[in-house]
């Protein structure tokens, strides 16, 4: 198993390189880079834009289009100064390999527009995304797995039909619309004023006692987590149900029942381990999507300043150090979580041997 882990860790390097190269090429061809934005601002608002520009990480991408319409009428020396300020005075291949070298040392540079390092920005936004992602994942798994097992056991019953209808309806409702409905109903919109409608904690959080802080934290999480998980039950519940249905029909289950084992012993002593393998395989994708990409609109609606909002604003502003820094970190975490998923396979079912399969 140790050799398999080492090979998987070694594969992370070319995978990261390929993803970064592909995104570098795409962003390189995209118009509207920071240099173009600076030139457009200078033409529209005068030369003071240069003094307001922030510094930037040195190993970034799109040249900003020195030949674009925004650069007409700009003195070449001023244009060269702006490109050098953003690190775009070098050829594309030099910038890419400098970026790779910096990222290998986890040096992500500074944001173009926030006057802070990318690492500091990510660390600041991480608590919000971890809170949303962690609690959303726990709620989804704690509800979907028992529900899927119950639906498999009572397949075709009235319970199975109406629960399937509910989770399909929940899957069809966009999370952001459900979030607005929750605010209207329970956050002082038109009816009840029970839960806070913005932020992760109250403004006087540090003045509260620790039990009050815990209560305040969870009161702020109730609505965004509920809106975030409304569409997440369907896939995992039906996946769990179908996995159990597939295992329940196998011969070893018939044999276990013939030996006089109870339904609970059959389900959780024999079926559970095999049926949960496919559910475990989906966990890395669920974690990454909920932590970093699935809560953008939820963060906006509930005024939660997390990683989703950070990445969205960086893409709008062409803040390349933030875009590439977050992409690198998210990709690395996704690859590591995939390895953890494989190790969990072995923990659930020791009969699985990835090394012999590779051989």
pLDDT < 50 positions in the chain:
46-71, 359
Distances (CA, A) of 323 to 127, 128, 253: 19, 18, 50
CB 291 within 8 A of CB 133: yes
Domains of the chain and CATH, by start: 2-118 (no CATH), 120-317 (1.10.3720.10)
- The torsion angles phi and psi of 5, rounded to 5 degrees, stand at -65, -40
Q: What is the pTM of this model?
A: 0.71
* The pLDDT value given to residue 55: 42
User: Read out DSSP for 205-228?
Assistant: GGGS-HHHHHHHHHHHHHHHHHHH
Contacts of residue 30, Cβ cutoff 8 Å, sequence gap at least 6: 62, 318
Looking at residue 117, what DSSP letter applies?
B
* The pLDDT value given to residue 54: 42
* The pLDDT value given to residue 7: 85
pLDDT tens figures, 267-321: 877 787 777 777 776 676 666 666 655 567 888 888 888 887 887 888 887 888 8
Looking at residue 193, what DSSP letter applies?
B
- How many angstroms separate the CA atoms of 6 and 242, rounded? 34
Question: How many residues are recorded in the chain?
Answer: 359
Q: Which long-range contacts (CB under 8 A, 24 or more apart) does 169-176 make?
A: 170/230, 170/231, 170/233, 170/234, 171/231, 171/233, 171/234, 171/235, 172/231, 173/230, 173/231, 174/231, 175/227, 175/228, 175/230, 175/231, 175/294, 175/297, 175/298, 176/227, 176/297, 176/298, 176/300, 176/301
């Amino acid at each position: 198993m140790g050799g398999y882990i080492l090979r998987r860790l070694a594969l992370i390097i070319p995978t990261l390189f390929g993803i970064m190269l592909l995104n570098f090429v795409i962003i390189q061809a995209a118009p509207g880079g920071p240099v173009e934005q600076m030139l457009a601002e200078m033409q529209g608002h005068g030369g003071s834009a240069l003094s307001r520009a922030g510094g930037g990480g040195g190993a970034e991408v799109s040249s900003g289009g020195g030949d674009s319409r925004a650069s007409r009428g700009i003195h070449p020396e001023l244009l060269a100064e702006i490109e050098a300020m953003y690190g775009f005075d070098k050829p594309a291949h030099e910038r890419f390999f400098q970026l790779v070298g910096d990222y290998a040392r986890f040096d992500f540079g500074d944001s173009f527009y926030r006057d802070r390092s990318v690492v500091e920005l990510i660390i600041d936004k991480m608590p919000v995304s971890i809170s949303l992602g962690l609690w959303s994942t726990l709620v989804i798994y704690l509800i979907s797995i028992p529900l899927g097992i119950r639906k498999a056991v009572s397949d075709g019953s009235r319970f199975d039909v109406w629960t399937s209808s509910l989770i399909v309806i929940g899957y069809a409702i966009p999370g952001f619309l459900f979030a607005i409905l929750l605010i209207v109903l329970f956050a002082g919109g038109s009816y009840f004023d029970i839960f806070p409608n913005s932020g992760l904690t109250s403004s006087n959080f540090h003045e509260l006692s620790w039990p009050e802080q815990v209560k305040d934290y969870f009161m702020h999480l109730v609505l965004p987590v509920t809106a975030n998980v409304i569409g997440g039950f369907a896939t995992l519940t039906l996946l769990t149900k179908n996995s159990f249905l597939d295992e329940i029909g196998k011969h070893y289950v018939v044999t276990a029942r013939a030996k006089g084992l109870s339904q609970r012993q059959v389900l959780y002593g024999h079926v559970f381990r095999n049926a949960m393998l496919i559910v475990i395989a989906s966990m890395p994708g669920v974690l990454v999507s909920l932590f970093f990409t699935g809560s953008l609109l939820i963060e906006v609606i509930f005024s939660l300043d997390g990683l989703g909002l950070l990445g969205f604003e960086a893409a709008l502003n062409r803040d390349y150090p933030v875009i590439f820094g977050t992409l690198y970190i998210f990709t690395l975490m996704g690859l590591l979580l995939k390895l953890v998923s494989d190790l969990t396979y072995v923990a659930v079912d020791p009969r699985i041997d990835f090394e012999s399969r590779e051989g």
